[in-house]
Amino acid sequence: MVDLHGRDLLCTQDWSIEELEKTLDLAFEMKANRYDHPLNNCLDRRTFFMFFYNPSVRTRQSFEAAATELGGHAQFLEPKSMRLKSAKTAGETIEDAAHVMSRYAVGIGIRILETALEHYGQGHELLQEYAQYASVPIISMAHDKYHPCQGLADVMGYRMHGGKNLKGKKFLQVWGKGALVRSWCSVQESILINTRFGMDVTLAHPPGYDLDPEVIKMCEENAAASGGNFEIVHDLEEGYDGADFVYSRNWMTSGFYGEMQKNGVDAAKKKEIELAAKYDDWITTKDWMSKTNDAFFTHCGPVDRNAEVTDEVCSGSKSIVYDVAENRLHVQKAIMALTMGKK
Question: In the prediction, which pLDDT does 87 show?
Answer: 61
Write out the H or E segment, with its range, that includes residue 234.
none
Question: In the prediction, which pLDDT does 2 show?
Answer: 87
For 273, residues 6+ apart whose C-beta sits below 8 A from its C-beta are 179, 181
Buried b (16+ CB within 10 A) or exposed e, 299-333: bbbebbeebbbbeebbeeeebbbebbbbbbbbbbb
CATH code for 12-146+326-340? 3.40.50.1370
Question: In the prediction, which pLDDT does 84 show?
Answer: 79
With CA atoms as reference, report the closest residue to 247 among 298, 291, 290, 318: 298
Question: In the prediction, which pLDDT does 88 show?
Answer: 64
Backbone angles phi, psi at 3, to 5 degrees: -130, 110
Question: Where exactly does CATH 3.40.50.1370 map onto the chain?
Answer: 12-146+326-340, 157-321
Helix-, strand-, coil-residue percentages of the chain, each rounded to 5: 45, 15, 40
pLDDT in tens, the chain (343 residues): 789 999 999 999 999 999 999 999 999 999 999 999 999 999 999 999 999 999 998 999 999 999 999 999 999 999 888 777 666 667 789 999 999 999 999 999 999 999 999 999 999 999 999 999 999 999 999 999 999 999 999 999 999 999 999 999 999 999 999 888 999 999 999 999 999 999 999 999 999 999 999 999 999 999 999 999 999 999 999 999 999 999 999 999 999 999 999 999 999 999 999 999 999 999 999 999 999 999 999 999 999 999 999 999 999 999 999 999 999 999 999 999 999 999 7
Confirm whether pTM is higher than 0.75: yes
Length of the chain counted residue by residue: 343
Question: In the prediction, which pLDDT does 83 show?
Answer: 75
With CA atoms as reference, report the closest residue to 135 among 101, 163, 161: 101
Write out the H or E segment, with its range, that includes residue 28.
helix 17-32
CA–CA gap between residue 343 and residue 334 (Å, rounded)? 13
User: How large is the C-alpha radius of gyration of the chain?
Assistant: 20
Class of domain 157-321: alpha beta
From start to end of the chain, where are the E strands?
A: 47-52, 73-77, 107-112, 138-143, 170-175, 200-204, 229-233, 245-249, 296-298
- Looking at residue 48, its amino acid is F
